Amino acid sequence: MEFLRPATWDEALAAKAEFPTALPISGGTDVMVEMNFDVHRPSAILDLNRITELRQWEITDGVVRLGASVPYARIINELSEPLPGLALAAHTVGSPQIRNRGGVGGNLGGASPAGDAHPALLAAGRDVFVEVASAARGTRLIAIDDFYVGVKRNSMEKDELILRVHIPVADGPQQFSKIGTRNAMVIAVCAFGFALHPKNGTVGTGIGSAAPTPRRAVAAEEFLQGVLAERGLWESGDLLGAEVIQQFGELVKAAASPIDDVRGTADYRRHSLAVMARRTLTWTWNDYSKQIRSAA
């Protein structure tokens, strides 16, 4: 097996162009498990750990540009204010050891429907982009809604690598909720991300582990956006009412298409998604109302 160890981003892209079947490795928390279980016997490994840009983040023009290999532990410690939903999701990943190694680029590269970053990225809005690049065609931005194309499949080409993810700085409360068989070191039975975006009057949702790909609950988003706008709730911060919260939960549940598997049944996943949707909406709206009242 070839072991490729580029020192720069350009060298990494050149290596990926020359060896398109080379398997990129960042934290290795997915790659090494799969190699140990013989899921992969790649002809070459492309180690991305010497590339500085992948471990950096910056905020420009209200957008966090998050390097693909910034580990979850740093997202929690350094980015919980601008990216509260993603930081909450990061808290639930694996254990301290996994959070010190694994990052969002690896979650996106694997594109597992159970990856915890995905619901938070979807909920962060339609202006989330994955920046990928190849030696032949340069850089392109893939909208998060176009990124997930099948079970463990994303829309990247064979010669492309993920450089960073562009995520707008939160302008309202965000939440993440995950059901597992215990509180740590579990793959989600299902998960839900939710965000309020008061600046443009939208809300964001993300469903994990309850469909072939991570997906948003579009009808639930449209329903809630309509209610918030028609009733002037963004301005008043008044109570949403039990019926609105209930209906939102039902629409999130209807957006899922889960399966029965070793981690849980489809029915249980649907039920728990409705519960998580109601809870995360209630938590975020309570926080938003408090902000409105304290600003008045």
Ligand X SMILES: Cc1cc2nc3c(=O)[nH]c(=O)nc-3n(C[C@H](O)[C@H](O)[C@H](O)COP(=O)(O)OP(=O)(O)OC[C@H]3O[C@@H](n4cnc5c(N)ncnc54)[C@H](O)[C@@H]3O)c2cc1C
Q: Which of 93, 221, 106 is nearest to 165 (CA)?
A: 106
Q: Are strands 23-25 and 44-47 parallel, antiparallel or unpaired?
A: parallel
Q: Which is nearer to ligand X, 31 or 240 (CB)?
A: 31
Q: Compute the least distance from the CB of residue 266 to ligand X, in Å.
A: 21
Q: Compute the least distance from the CB of residue 157 to ligand X, in Å.
A: 11
13, 15, 30, 195: residue in contact with ligand X (rule CB under 6 A): 30
86 to 125: interface string for ligand X, x by CB under 6 A: ------xxx---x--xxx-xxx-xx----xx---------
AA letter at 277: A
Q: Compute the least distance from the CB of residue 20 to ligand X, in Å.
A: 12
SS3 content of the chain, % helix, strand, coil (to 5): 40, 25, 35
Residue indicated by tokens 């350009």: 10
CA diameter of the chain: 64
Q: Compute the least distance from the CB of residue 279 to ligand X, in Å.
A: 19
162, 195, 196, 256: residue in contact with ligand X (rule CB under 6 A): 162
230-244 as b/e, with b when 16 or more CB fall inside 10 Å?
eeebbeebeebeeeb
The answer to whether 28 contacts ligand X (rule: CB under 6 A) is yes
Q: Which of 67, 57, 71 is nearest to 28 (CA)?
A: 71
Q: Which is nearer to ligand X, 29 or 205 (CB)?
A: 29
**Contacting residues toward ligand X, per CB under 6 A:** 23-31, 33, 48, 68, 92-94, 98, 101-103, 105-107, 109-110, 115-116, 161-162, 185
